[in-house]
A and B are shown apart, each in its own frame.
Chain A
Amino acid sequence: MSAVEPETRAHGSAPVHGMSLACRDVGFSYQEAQTPIAALREVSFELAAGRSLALLGASGSGKSTLLQVVRGLDLPETGEVLLDGAVAGAAGYDGLQKQVGLVFQTPELQLFASSAREDVAFGPSRLGWSEDEVAAAVDEALDLVDLPPDRFGERHPYALSGGEQRRLALAGVLAMRPRLLLLDEPFVSLDPATRRELARILARLRAAGVTLVLATHDVDLAWALCDELLLLDHGRVAAGGAWDLGDAGRDLLAASRLREPFLVELWRRLGRDPREAPRTYAEAAEALA
């Protein structure tokens, strides 16, 4: 069980002007040897700048595919992805796409350089920034993920612990200063303390104004971190928009083999209105005091 406590300090990161995201009837299928497999069907949703979205759904429901399509690594077969209201092909769309950060599942697998600093610098140095700008972005990103550059900058990535590697890989994406950050199962195979640390970092990014899309199976962290949800079922949108915490919402989550968030269930069991359930333990303690 884990929940995220709000963090008020800005932690050295300047406010970010988040990017808005919208999908209109996005469809995508994988071309397998004999039959194509539909991974996304008519997926539509809107996410305003600076908002955070929990992308939920059973394994194989299309979460990873959707993130890759939004980042432009796969092109949608039907429909379109709008970044700040612009469609693919519009002037400036490529530039917008570069401001979309995607943190892959187990991103520590992509570490390759011989020092933490060098690995984090890989992305920003490909954006055509000056050396000073890159160095500043690298230090800022390392700070953001709680790997102080003076202590960790010269360490070999493979000499770090699993949790540190995960945060380093996140820094590699943050250094490109994304305005929209997509995360694919960022909490997988982390111990509870590391999960909480990572959740704190994400809360920090959210507070700074970065638009977040968080694909996860952890509904409690999703509840704590995300304003809205998008529930995928076999590539289709089963529910979208604000969290619906009534019985219908609970049943929808159950249909995707998910439980409702712990604090929502607690409120229900206490005989209170689950729609007014708190997001954090601090809020819960205050409400119950």
Chain B
Amino acid sequence: MRTTIAQYYPGDSPIHRLDARAKFVAVTALAVALFVRDSFAGLAVFAVAGAVAYVLSGVPAAWFWRAFRPLLWLVGLTFLAQILFAPAEDAFASWWIFHVSWQGLSFAAFLSLRLLVLVLIGSVLTLTTQPLALTDGLAWLGRPLRRLRVPTDELALMVTIALRFIPTLLVEVDQIMRAQRARGADFGSGGPVKRARALVPVLTPLFVLSFRRADELALAMEARCYRPGIVRTRLHPLKAGVADAVLLSVTAAVIAAGLLI
């Protein structure tokens, strides 16, 4: 039974210890810079920065690969789409509506590499930051929006609860599927329609259970004096320190270098 969903790798590296807000701001700024800059040289700077951050994080390559692999499809598709749908001028190979040109190839390579670097930088954030710390950080960063009556704390709480219950629901799904399989259910064979129908015995109990759980959780929260719209204090206040200032300075330097080189 696999219940690790988010890719977070528990660890105590310098990158792990950084404040979630600082990491989020740094990654966002790098991502924007990555898309502003359109040269291979700039790309190389950001790639090196991402690689250094990954090495510092101490996340094992196998773990990283597991998180990274599903995204390779996306990169591959981008590459193919860019090659095949490039303009027809100076194409050296053509077939039906597809044309392959050196310009198209280089552009496709650039876009794919950019996507890879983006995934690398984003992965360092999600691999080293607990989902809960990330939502807390986002709620803090979204505070100015409260003036516009955006319920940022409530949104953050919703995300937190949703994340908290994903592993629980996965265990639940596993149990229900086993129970139905013990009664002869078959989830693995037949066409798409048959497979979808086979899921009814799983989804119905799952929904009933989820609604019941949500109802109970809401009651329990009320019983413990939760009221929406009130500023709550935190058990683990977010703490930014010197290291975070260093991170933001280094990020600024990397972005400047990436944009100017």
Contacts and interface: CB of A to CB of B under 8 A. Distances in A.
B235 interface: no
Interface string A89-130: 000000000100110100101111100000000110011000
Interface residue SS majority, chain A = mixed
Nearest to A126: B184
A71 interface: yes
Interface string B182-203: 1111100000000000001110
Given A33-B4, A68-B178, A73-B178, A112 B183 contact: no
Given A30-B1, A110-B201, A176 B183 contact: yes
Interface string A75-86: 000000000000
Given A122-B201, A172-B183, A173-B183, A104 B178 contact: yes
B183 A122 contact: yes
B201 A98 contact: no
A109 B209 contact: yes
Interface residues of B, number: 21
Nearest to B186: A126
Nearest to B183: A123
B205 interface: yes
A172 B176 CA distance: 14
Contact of A111 (B182, B184, B205): B205
Contacts of A172: 183
B208 interface: yes
Contact of B182 (A33, A102, A127, A158): A102
B233 interface: no
Contact of A127 (B4, B172, B184, B208): B184
B172 to A, nearest CB: 8
B204 to A, nearest CB: 4
Nearest to B184: A126
B143 interface: no
Given A73-B178, A109-B175, A109-B209, A126 B201 contact: no
B186 to A, nearest CB: 7
Given A30-B1, A33-B4, A104-B175, A110 B184 contact: no
A73 B205 contact: no
Contacts of A73: 178, 181-182
Contacts of A123: 183-184
Contacts of B176: 109-110
A98 B184 contact: yes
A173 B185 CA distance: 12
B91 interface: no
A247 B172 CA distance: 41
B130 interface: no
B126 interface: no
Contact of B180 (A98, A101, A110, A176): A110
Interface in A164-217: 172-173, 176
Contacts of B204: 112
Contacts of B202: 112
A101 B184 CA distance: 10
B56 interface: no
A112 B205 contact: yes
B179 interface: yes
B259 to A, nearest CB: 39
Contacts of A126: 183-186
Interface in B1-23: 1, 4
Of B1, B175, B209, the most chain A CB neighbours within 10 A belong to B175
B8 to A, nearest CB: 10
A68 B180 CA distance: 13
A30 B182 CA distance: 20
Interface of B: 1, 4, 172, 175-176, 178-186, 200-202, 204-205, 208-209
The 3 closest A-B pairs by CB, nearest first: A126-B184, A112-B204, A123-B183
25 contacts: A71-B182, A73-B178, A73-B182, A98-B184, A102-B179, A102-B182, A104-B178, A104-B182, A109-B172, A109-B176, A109-B205, A110-B180, A110-B201, A111-B205, A112-B200, A112-B205, A122-B180, A122-B185, A126-B185, A126-B186, A127-B184, A172-B183, A173-B182, A173-B183, A176-B183
Interface of A: 30, 33, 68, 71, 73, 98, 101-102, 104, 107, 109-113, 122-123, 126-127, 158, 172-173, 176
Given A104-B175, A122-B183, 16 more contacts: A73-B182, A101-B182, A102-B179, A104-B179, A110-B183, A110-B205, A112-B200, A112-B204, A112-B205, A122-B184, A123-B184, A126-B186, A127-B184, A158-B208, A172-B183, A173-B182
